[in-house]
Structure 1
Amino acid sequence: MEILNYLKEEEIIAYFSMEIALFKEIPTYSGGLGVLAGDTVRSAADLSLPFVAITLLHRKGYFRQELTPDGNQIEHPVVWDVERLLTPLPQKVRVTIEGREVVIGAWVYVWRSVTGGKVPVIFLDTDLPENVESDRAITHYLYGGDRRYRLKQEIVLGIGGVRMLKALELSVRKYHINEGHAALLALELLRDEVSCQKEEKACLREVRNLCVFTTHTPVEAGHDRFPYDLVREVLGEPLPIDLLKKLGGKDELNMTLLALNLSGYVNGVAKRHSEVSRNMFPGYVIHSITNGVHTFTWTSPAFRELYDRYIPGWAHEPELLARVDVIPDELLWEAHQREKKSLIELVYEKTGILMEKEVFTLGFARRMTAYKRPTFIFADRERLIRIAKRQPFQVIFAGKAHPQDWEGKRLIQEIFKQARELHPHLKIAFLEDYDLEIAKRMVSGVDLWLNTPQKPFEASGTSGMKAAHNGVLHFSVLDGWWIEGCLEGITGWSIGSPPDEKTDDEARREVEDFYGKLEYAILPTFYNHREHWIRLMKNAIGKLAPYFNSHRMMKRYLSEAYFHQPALFTMNNQHV
């Protein structure tokens, strides 16, 4: 293809991610990791970077969510038209899995920016006639199956991805490992170095010069681990076992540890997350590049029109949104009301629940899992009812639970139960099958965005950044990006104590903060001081959007990671 031939003329950045969210019709994503990867691709194209993304072709997607009237989640495979949306590539490569040769093909989608920049996204595919039936299914499901299935996928992504880039004759300046799922790419690079019969330190140095690693999860269970017996059965012994254990962990292969030990630059996705990661993996230098969102993508149609009129150039230079004060208040409010009306129409279409445009609307949408605490709002139902009777508000939820996350599924059922029982006092809707399109409508159509994770388990969080681009205020626990973005009562509100403040009963403080600020600060300002509320909306746009965007994020990667030469490296607190 022309774009791939063009890229042969220069060294590229190769960005490996298990999921990438480009748009709804290519359902190869589940949540925040994939959405961030999609925004990364968009900004790389806008900035005309020599950039290629590598992921897997999940023919059956993550899943389509159906919810029963009681909130029971039913998962359905996603059927999508691969041949219509993607272009096949002629190159094929092979990897060894369970002693068998597995053939990997590739498809490409070229993301084109209005600036003229292009980024090819390569989708690796094992559903080929050369493979046995079980191997054809390796790339079918995103986050499906057991650990054996996951390890097979990571072999295809990491090892197969490196080999595919070689088959495409692309010269790679840096390999960016976006979360530990892709860490086996570094193992493949190291195997190539070792085969040249260089000494171990020289081989490690060469690989680290090539690799950048972004870790995304402060949750212990989120780091992929595989027993070495399983690794031998599925992967074989790509390196001497002593060296593999030195790099990946003594007792089992920890993909995060493997990436840490084979990357010259490592970063977390918020300042606080980097601190948490350094505590989890002491002795490693872990930098911080706070996530951002793609400004044009996540700005709603009504606000795009406003920005085009009053802040020309905003889409390519998001820092210009600091000039938001030039927009007349009445036009800003009118744009917000248009997006709110659109969201309320969507709620009615999908749920039959008729919400009111003049009523304060609160939104909560993200993966449904225990540490996100989606039912936090119901901690004190009697107080919730009292507040709603005096100052009415309505709530919109959305989100999927992983098919094997039984607690996450139970939380969805609990939200449905609470919605039924609170119905006379409070309207609550749950939008099923949360995807990119529903997310865009929600982050621009609600009045307040709620985020209540259990600290310190929010690595970054980006939905609140998207809301800020549309003048929607944020109300969140001080974790992830919000520690950096929160100016209390100016850009939004915090829930609970700061990370460095010790309290005897943090849970009680969080509950009191939530209800107290909702009742005495947020709702009275919305209903009684509309001019001040619009001032806060402008604060959210002008003080948050210019920084928390993926253009700024990518420029940081360019200056600190992609053109970075690693200094003396420490592994397990020892110089190597």
Structure 2
Amino acid sequence: MMPPNPDKPPAPIADPLREKLSAKVAYFSMEMAVDEEIPTYSGGLGVLAADTLRAAAGSLLPMVGVTLLYRRGYFFQRFDAQGWQREEAVAWSPENVLCELSERVSVVLEGRTVQVRAWLFWIRDAGEGRVPILFLDTGLPENSEWDRALSEFLYGGDNRYRLCQEVILGIGGVRMLRKLGFERLELFHMNEGHSSLLTLELLEEEAKRAGRTEPTSEDIEAVRRMCAFTTHTPVSAGHDRFPLDMVKKVIRLPAIADGAYKGRFCCDGEINLTHLAFEFSHYINGVAKRHSEVSRVLFYPATIDSITNGIHLPYWASRPMQDLFDRHIPGWRADAFSVRYAIAAPLEEVQQAHEQSKAQLIQYVNRETNAGMNPDVLTIGFARRATAYKRPELILTDIERLKRISGVKGPLQLIFAGKAHPQDEEGKRAIQRIMQSRIRLLPEVRMIYLAEYDLALARLLVAGVDLWLNTPQPPLEASGTSGMKAAINGVPNFSVLDGWWIEGCIEGVTGWSIGPDHYQRKEGSDVQRDARDLYDKLEDVIVPLFYGDSEGYTRVMRQAIALNGSFFNAQRMLQQYVLKAYFA
């Protein structure tokens, strides 16, 4: 049985945007994972965006979200008989879950006027709070076939397609907010660089307000005071760049872009949307302390602060775990910091809550895949985007040793999930190799790779496995939040010291690390060394603790909840944004 969904929109009201005049912060993100029935997300970026807005709803923060509508989603994942990922368009109907608004705005793309509409969704926390989200859509009959297709796929198409989508998000998003009456906005928060073209619209607004035809340096400073930017990608190749000639064909750049300020817009004949966001934001942050350190080197001399990501606890805690918190930590939904009191919860109740969640997961896996998983066996979960730097095959580096650990120390079973980008051939090959390893692991280790990793499956996995595995190549993990979701469900992390885990890992207390401390690492990463350390800790520490000292393992589970869950949450994260970026 799938977990309940707390984000269903309430019944329509006479004025669907009656709170519009109170919104002071506009939060822009290319993707948002707001509901299981709205497939407008690919992974962590969209999940973080939704959790941020849930936290805003819970805190009654006057915020509005802006994203794009993708009528065919990211993609629906299937595997063929050889274990190769196949992508299918997602079949969903926006009118069944969203409310269409009557207002229209337009943007000019390559000289064509493109009409844009918005669909409304209310995202809620566990109480009465809610925040409006606007899904922008060009699927209108008055647009050309190509322009209508801009609302089809997330991260689909070529550079031209991507640039046009980002014009709609940034420039079209600001225009839609104005059209709908969001006139009290004080801050525009760009979640990654996809929306940074909104700064050009704000520049134009400032110039018009002063009666000028083109913006000046004073306008740049005014826009900077209105903008904040969060970067998520610690490698230069992961940031959107477009040739300047292409950009000039798609949109009209302000004259200031060719003057003394050209360097702020363009470098080596390209516009880098991350650099654009840097130049027009008064506050910039990375998503973990280590990520900010890496970003300051990558984007020197930019000043980049850190606000470590967090998750919305009421959404990600399983029902059995919520019941445990309700008994022992009254008010935890409104006060995430109070989850630290889980340290006093009876161990047997923590274990019982986890067993209920694990039973749900194993029942689902066996029903869907006939994998024959056993609820009494130590179950390791690995679920995230399938790409090379995540190193999903690290635990399979030495299959014979893994089988020996399972046969001698105690049985193991592995559950994998995650999508590879349709153009990531190496990511697809990694999935295929993992799936083809299944027979080699038998009979000592049972393993399954689950298709179509989405919100519903993620909520089952993070609550139902016994150990959450994460093996990225440092320092390429910006933050990661799946391990935080596991922690609030009493599932210890077993992870490379990168991203948030550097801050969350207390060895043997909240979980376990893989490999050396990040400050001891040289450039790159030693796969064989990390694999040996993974196997050593499994063999000598984790498996013996799980099977030989159940109370000791449950104590680690309880400490993960109290120490990790009480800090790595969206409520704390949002409070830091309010103090540092929004109303500083």
TM-score by length of structure 1 reads: 0.95
Query: 2:10 maps to which residue?
Result: none
1:120 positional shift = 0.4
Query: 1:246 maps to which residue?
Result: 263
Q: Secondary structure at the match of 2:199?
A: helix
Change (3 A) 1:114 1:399: closer
Contact 2:77 2:86 (8 Å CA) reproduced? yes
In the TM superposition, what are the counterparts of 1:224-373 in structure 2 within 5 Å? 224-243=240-259, 245-251=262-268, 252-373=270-391
Change (3 A) 1:416 1:508: closer
Query: 2:561 maps to which residue?
Result: 541
1:11 positional shift = 4.8
Given the alignment of the two structures, is residue 58 of structure 1 paired with residue 77 of structure 2, yes or no? no
Given the alignment of the two structures, is residue 73 of structure 1 paired with residue 95 of structure 2, yes or no? no
Query: 1:476 maps to which residue?
Result: 495
Separation in 2, partners of 1:222, 1:366: 17
What per-residue deviation string (whole Å, max 9, x for no partner) do you get for residues 429-468 of structure 1? Answer: 1110000010000001000000001111100000000000
Q: Secondary structure at the match of 1:2?
A: coil
Given the alignment of the two structures, is residue 159 of structure 1 paired with residue 171 of structure 2, yes or no? yes
Separation in 1, partners of 2:23, 2:318: 36
The AA in structure 1 aligned to 2:505 is C
Task: Work out which of the residue numbers 419, 430, 433 in structure 2 matches 1:414.
Answer: 433
Separation in 1, partners of 2:482, 2:255: 41
Deviates more, 1:309-318 or 1:505-514: 505-514
Contact 1:56 1:123 (8 Å CA) reproduced? yes
Given the alignment of the two structures, is residue 43 of structure 1 paired with residue 55 of structure 2, yes or no? yes
Identity %: 51
Change (3 A) 1:88 1:419: same
Contact 1:364 1:397 (8 Å CA) reproduced? yes
Task: Work out which of the residue numbers 436, 446, 469 in structure 1 matches 2:455.
Answer: 436
Query: 1:568 maps to which residue?
Result: none
What per-residue deviation string (whole Å, max 9, x for no partner) do you get for residues 309-339 of structure 1? Answer: 1111111111111111332211211111111
Q: Secondary structure at the match of 1:137?
A: helix
Alignment gaps of 5+ in structure 1:
565-576
Task: Work out which of the residue numbers 499, 523, 534 in structure 1 matches 2:518.
Answer: 499
Contact 1:497 1:503 (8 Å CA) reproduced? no
Q: Secondary structure at the match of 1:16?
A: strand
Separation in 2, partners of 1:175, 1:495: 38
Query: 1:567 maps to which residue?
Result: none
Q: CA-atom RMSD, angstroms?
A: 1.4
The AA in structure 1 aligned to 2:223 is V
Contact 1:48 1:116 (8 Å CA) reproduced? no
Q: Secondary structure at the match of 1:4?
A: coil
The AA in structure 1 aligned to 2:336 is P
What per-residue deviation string (whole Å, max 9, x for no partner) do you get for residues 250-288 of structure 1? Answer: 220000000000001000000001111110110111010
Deviates more, 1:75-84 or 1:187-196: 187-196
Contact 1:491 1:539 (8 Å CA) reproduced? yes
Change (3 A) 1:3 1:50: farther
Given the alignment of the two structures, is residue 180 of structure 1 paired with residue 198 of structure 2, yes or no? no
Contact 1:191 1:239 (8 Å CA) reproduced? no
Contact 1:497 1:506 (8 Å CA) reproduced? no
Alignment gaps of 5+ in structure 2:
1-13
Q: Secondary structure at the match of 2:186?
A: strand
The AA in structure 1 aligned to 2:195 is A
Separation in 1, partners of 2:62, 2:15: 14
Query: 2:20 maps to which residue?
Result: 7
1:509 positional shift = 2.8
1:75 positional shift = 0.7
Query: 1:170 maps to which residue?
Result: 182
The AA in structure 1 aligned to 2:265 is G
Contact 2:23 2:64 (8 Å CA) reproduced? no
1:240 positional shift = 4.1
Contact 1:99 1:236 (8 Å CA) reproduced? no
1:512 positional shift = 1.9
1:69 positional shift = 3.1
| Count of aligned residue pairs for this structure pair | 563
Q: Secondary structure at the match of 1:209?
A: helix
Contact 2:234 2:291 (8 Å CA) reproduced? yes
Separation in 2, partners of 1:282, 1:353: 50
Deviates more, 1:518-527 or 1:184-193: 184-193
Deviates more, 1:328-337 or 1:233-242: 233-242
What per-residue deviation string (whole Å, max 9, x for no partner) do you get for residues 119-174 of structure 1? Answer: 00000000001101100011210000010000000000000000001101212110
Separation in 2, partners of 1:318, 1:70: 45
Contact 1:55 1:121 (8 Å CA) reproduced? yes
Contact 1:396 1:429 (8 Å CA) reproduced? yes
Query: 1:573 maps to which residue?
Result: none
Separation in 2, partners of 1:455, 1:326: 35
Change (3 A) 1:503 1:227: closer
Task: Work out which of the residue numbers 195, 199, 219 in structure 2 matches 1:203.
Answer: 219
Contact 1:41 1:53 (8 Å CA) reproduced? yes
1:114 positional shift = 4.2
Separation in 1, partners of 2:240, 2:367: 40
Deviates more, 1:318-327 or 1:11-20: 318-327
